[in-house]
Structure 1
Amino acid sequence: MKVVETLYAMTGGQSSGSGGNAFLSFLPLILIILVMYLLILRPQAKKQRERQKLLDSVKKGDDIVTIGGMHGKVVGTKNEDKILVVKVDDNVKIDVDRTAVSSISRSS
């Protein structure tokens, strides 16, 4: 019991909830959130913007590869440019969603 009283006297009888200490206790949490934003969320948002830019740039005549691995040439659009008509062979045309495009190679 004597040890507890000695430690209490050494602290000057102050409670641990002072204003300055409250900020310092939240500082590690704030730093973790900041690091998470810089390492995860910001690059992900940048990648999403680049993907949207790619999808918006698809036009008639482009050779594309879909997410499923199908190769073809864009010959038209439907449904307010949400669906692409893709020619995969001489007599074969398929409709694919614009978001299914994985990559584009511009044809000359």
Structure 2
Amino acid sequence: MFATPAYAQAAGGPGGAFTSFVPLILIFAIMYFLLIRPQQKKMKEHKAMVDALRRGDQIVTQGGLIGKVTKVKDDNEVEVEIASGVNVRIVRHTIAQVMNKTEPATKD
């Protein structure tokens, strides 16, 4: 007797469940290409930069300190000279930028 629009909309139709997930899938795809993928690329470039550190490189830490690498201790630490005679140990992943890269020694 009383037919409301809500009953007519509940019927759905063929493919009703799939079409309701299409916007969700599109949002995830957009998020992946705009946010996740560039962040992964940036992390990969930072890891390559940190792994390529060598003695004599001038660096900037995330805290803003500028110094020169004096010793590469192990996989996780680097010794940096921030002033004349002042050496500090820092964690590799806190290095934000390599300002001046030293050239590898040539074999004569």
Tell me which amino acid in the other structure corresponds to 2:89: D
Q: Quote the offset at 1:38 in angstroms.
A: 1.0
Alignment counterpart, residue 50 of structure 2, candidates 55, 74, 80: 55
Q: Residues 8-35 of structure 1: CA distance to partner in whole angstroms, max 9, x if unpaired?
A: 7xx7xxx725551111111111111111
Tell me which amino acid in the other structure corresponds to 2:32: Y
Q: Classify the secondary structure of the residue corresponding to 2:22.
A: helix
Q: Which runs of 4+ in 1 moved over 4 A?
A: none
Q: Does 1:87 align with 2:49?
A: no
Give, in whole Å, the separation in 2 of the partners of 1:81 and 1:22: 51
Give, in whole Å, the separation in 1 of the partners of 2:30 and 2:63: 35
- RMSD value over aligned CA atoms? 2.3
Q: Which runs of 5 or more structure 1 residues have no equivalent in the other structure?
A: none
| TM-score normalised according to structure 1 size | 0.79
Q: Does 1:45 align with 2:40?
A: yes
Q: In the alignment, what sits opposite 2:15?
A: 20
Q: Which has the higher helix share?
A: 1
Q: Residues 40-98 of structure 1: CA distance to partner in whole angstroms, max 9, x if unpaired?
A: 111111111111111111111101111111111111122x2311111122211111111
Count of aligned pairs between the two proteins = 100
Q: Which runs of 5 or more structure 2 residues have no equivalent in the other structure?
A: 104-108
| TM-score normalised according to structure 2 size | 0.79
Give the share of equivalent positions with the same residue, in percent. 38
